[in-house]
Structure 1
Amino acid sequence: MELGITADRAEQLLTALAQQGLVTRHDGDPARWSAAAPDVAVEALLLRREEELLRTRGRVGELMRAYRRAQQPQTTDLMEVVTGQAAIAERWRQMQDGARRHLMLFDKPPHISPTDTELERSLLARSVRIRAVYEAGSVSAPGRLAEIREVVAAGEEARLLPRLPCKLAMVDDRWAMLPVATGSELQAAVLVRASSLLDALTGMFEAYWHRAVRVPDTGGPTLGTGNRRGELLTLLSAGFTDDSIARQLGVSPRTVQRWVHEVMDDLGARTRFQAGIQAARAGLL
């Protein structure tokens, strides 16, 4: 049976085997070939294969970098990292300008710019629903609660909680922005576009919103007892200390303590926490 291999093709195959050390040509007769000793030939072949594997392994890092570059456009469509406080503030302004239906906020320190009440009023004027949950530490500065009441009077829905998991800003069902990492300074933020992650952030906001207590739209120590009591209960439920409440209401801590004891007695509560529960059940919050 003929193998169908020409002399030239046979010469090429033998030459290739010789390059791998599997056969050798006789010096005295170039037409004669002989197989190399198996231990020597196989060992040489294994060494060459190991060298090839090492070279290939050394290219894994390069291949991974190429893979990540190829995947980058898909990731960028969903998320974007914004660095620098000025850039973050500008992107947040752009998000607010593009709001159509609703805006949701977790207000938590640190803050990178003063609250733009005029911009918020313009959003409310064009029927954008604004809901904000404020962490107690975010409104403890003197006069801050009064500022919040002003935007509440303009139409913002505001609530309070002792603690929030993170800063968060969400616009419609299109964008969310939150810090890359927690800390005393906000230097980088992640912009999240429509995705399952954005849906999860929306669910988290709704869960905290329903747990929070409403910020009253009126108040102050000069108002009647009913308004004062409602405001006091709101601040207590939000986790404010006596000193913080005193600063917000413009009275002494001793006066706040007296008011707290009066409220607890009237509600039949032995602790502040019980007073908050009783107030919620009575519809006072």
Structure 2
Amino acid sequence: MEVTVAKRGPRWYFSFRSPYAWMAYRDLTDHYPDVAAEIDWLPFWEPDAAADEELKEQGVRLPYVPMSREKHLYILQDVRRLAKERGLDMVWPVDREPHWEVSHLGYLVAEKLGRGPEYIAAVYRARWQLGQDISDPEVIAGIGRDLGIDHAALAAAATDPATREAGRKFLELIHRDGVPSPAGAVAARPGSHLGRPRTPPVGRRHSPGSRRRSLQEREITIVGGGYAGVLEVAQELICGAERTIDIVHARVPDASEQRERADGAEREMIYGAKDSVSVRVLSSPALLNESLVEEQFGRERAVEVRVARVPPVQALVVDGTSALVVAESAVGRRASLIKSPEVLHTLHTLFETVWSTAVPADERVSFGDRDRAGLVQQILWALRGGVTDEVAARELTVSVRTYRRYVAEIMALLGANFRFQAGVRAAELGLLAPVAVPGRRARG
């Protein structure tokens, strides 16, 4: 097989073995698809004994070190956390007899047949989301069938002399470029590299798109100074707001933050905004500030508060032009001041999407509210029984819209993804006492 290596432009070395490489791949393709379409993709793997011996004869030493048990356990925990942050469902695969040539040399065949990107996506999914053994030629053949290409050639790639020779040349290139790890390294030219194992890469070509991405990097800065520093930046943003302030309140502060917080300081900042500014707060159910909600009754400039299940993050978006985001990272709490239009657009879209289905805080159903306990019980029975919204709302003497809001909050509180699951989960938790079910006769 003939191997062509680009002389110009960035190269992306990928590994199907590494979970960090998988996440770097997802970050790249999800957030920078235009970059992914332009760069050159080169596989990086631990060679088998025969290939390793040939490489050593050429003076090639690849940067692979056997992993200790302690490091393996750390990576297992770290990767699960990172996958959760990204909303990725993953299955940790078991490598009984790993032979990495099977999957990585299969890519060379798929690329030659014009389905390289699709093959990469399918193999990553097979390994990290389905838990399949990608060292099994039959698994690779199945991927070939799904892609509509020569599955027999894919399955035989690891034993085909021409393909193995092509793979050896790729591994030599890795050695020349000095790639540090198979987790999404980019080489702009021989002798230089950029290791980005947990963040999406940025292309280095002098195109308008790359200049825009480079500018975007400069428009995201880290906020230091502990929680006091975060409050200082937040106050500046709020005082400078002209039109809108959108807040996400869903991250539980750690003990050090609790000590730094002045009682009511955040609320006073919100109330200190200009009269022309509308304020919206999106809170997780567990962190909802009840006193803030109660204070809005009768206020001329009420803060609109809604409740929804959202990721554990604090965010402040002002006028759609600046944002302050506080979230957990691999090194602990991280606060970032964002002025990048692309990132701000994404934040705005996410906020509006969640806000549109969130429950107004003053219309919530509370399991601890005795006056509404009976209503909650009836709704739970209706959910479990599959009663239609219209029938249930009519028999509960509430509007369909109000009924659906009640249902949305109940599902959020129960951590249910669909209605029947909410009813079943309520039964498992012992929340369902015998009552008259809307749309059905009461149980005798």
TM-score by length of structure 1 reads 0.53
CA drift of 1:282 comes to 4.6
The one of 235, 258, 265 equivalent to 2:364 is 235
The answer as to whether partners of 2:312 and 2:327 remain within 8 angstroms in 1 is: no
The unaligned stretches of length 5 or more in structure 2 are 1-58, 60-172, 180-188, 195-201, 205-210, 406-444
Q: Per-residue displacement from partner, 1:54-95 (whole Å, max 9, x unpaired)?
A: xx8679898557xx9x99973553211123222222111111
Residues 282/127 of structure 1: CA separation in 2 closer, same or farther (3 Å cut): same
Partner of 1:261: 374
Instruction: Provide the secondary structure at the position in 2 that maps to 1:103.
Output: strand
Partner of 2:361: 215
Q: Which residue type is aligned with residue 235 of structure 1?
A: R
Partner of 2:324: 177
CA drift of 1:280 comes to 5.9
The answer as to whether partners of 1:166 and 1:178 remain within 8 angstroms in 2 is: no
Moved over 6 A (4+): 58-62, 70-73, 272-277
CA drift of 1:147 comes to 2.6
Instruction: Provide the secondary structure at the position in 1 that maps to 2:328.
Output: coil
CA drift of 1:186 comes to 6.8
The one of 313, 333, 350 equivalent to 1:187 is 333
Q: Per-residue displacement from partner, 1:202-242 (whole Å, max 9, x unpaired)?
A: 000001101111122xxxxxxxxxxxxxxxxx333xxx5x3
Q: Which residue type is aligned with residue 97 of structure 1?
A: C
The one of 70, 78, 81 equivalent to 2:222 is 81
CA drift of 1:175 comes to 1.1
Residues 180/108 of structure 1: CA separation in 2 closer, same or farther (3 Å cut): closer
Residues 166/280 of structure 1: CA separation in 2 closer, same or farther (3 Å cut): farther
Instruction: Provide the secondary structure at the position in 2 that maps to 1:127.
Output: coil
Q: Which residue type is aligned with residue 110 of structure 1?
A: V
Residues 262/165 of structure 1: CA separation in 2 closer, same or farther (3 Å cut): closer
**Identical amino acids, percent of aligned pairs:** 17
Q: Which residue type is aligned with residue 269 of structure 2?
A: L
Residues 282/75 of structure 1: CA separation in 2 closer, same or farther (3 Å cut): closer
Residues 262/132 of structure 1: CA separation in 2 closer, same or farther (3 Å cut): closer
The answer as to whether partners of 1:109 and 1:137 remain within 8 angstroms in 2 is: no
Q: Which residue type is aligned with residue 79 of structure 1?
A: I
2:256 counterpart of 1:137: no
Residues 270/76 of structure 1: CA separation in 2 closer, same or farther (3 Å cut): closer
Name the CA distance, whole Å, in 1 between partners of 2:373 and 2:249: 27
Residues 280/79 of structure 1: CA separation in 2 closer, same or farther (3 Å cut): farther
Name the CA distance, whole Å, in 2 between partners of 1:150 and 1:62: 62
Q: Which residue type is aligned with residue 82 of structure 1?
A: V
The answer as to whether partners of 1:88 and 1:188 remain within 8 angstroms in 2 is: no
CA drift of 1:103 comes to 0.5
Q: How many residues align?
A: 192
Name the CA distance, whole Å, in 1 between partners of 2:399 and 2:328: 35
Name the CA distance, whole Å, in 2 between partners of 1:89 and 1:186: 18
2:291 counterpart of 1:146: yes
The answer as to whether partners of 1:169 and 1:176 remain within 8 angstroms in 2 is: yes
Residues 118/86 of structure 1: CA separation in 2 closer, same or farther (3 Å cut): closer
The answer as to whether partners of 2:177 and 2:193 remain within 8 angstroms in 1 is: no
Question: Alignment RMSD, CA only?
Answer: 4.3
Residues 135/73 of structure 1: CA separation in 2 closer, same or farther (3 Å cut): same
Q: Per-residue displacement from partner, 1:188-214 (whole Å, max 9, x unpaired)?
A: 212221421210110000011011111
Name the CA distance, whole Å, in 1 between partners of 2:245 and 2:227: 21
The answer as to whether partners of 1:99 and 1:128 remain within 8 angstroms in 2 is: yes
Partner of 2:242: 100
Residues 281/57 of structure 1: CA separation in 2 closer, same or farther (3 Å cut): closer
CA drift of 1:176 comes to 1.6
Residues 213/151 of structure 1: CA separation in 2 closer, same or farther (3 Å cut): same
The answer as to whether partners of 2:252 and 2:312 remain within 8 angstroms in 1 is: no
Partner of 1:270: 382
Structure of larger gyration radius: 1
Partner of 2:349: 203
Q: Which residue type is aligned with residue 292 of structure 2?
A: E
Name the CA distance, whole Å, in 1 between partners of 2:238 and 2:332: 19
Residues 270/178 of structure 1: CA separation in 2 closer, same or farther (3 Å cut): same
Q: Which residue type is aligned with residue 281 of structure 1?
A: V
The unaligned stretches of length 5 or more in structure 1 are 1-46, 48-52, 217-233, 247-254
The answer as to whether partners of 1:110 and 1:186 remain within 8 angstroms in 2 is: no
CA drift of 1:262 comes to 4.3
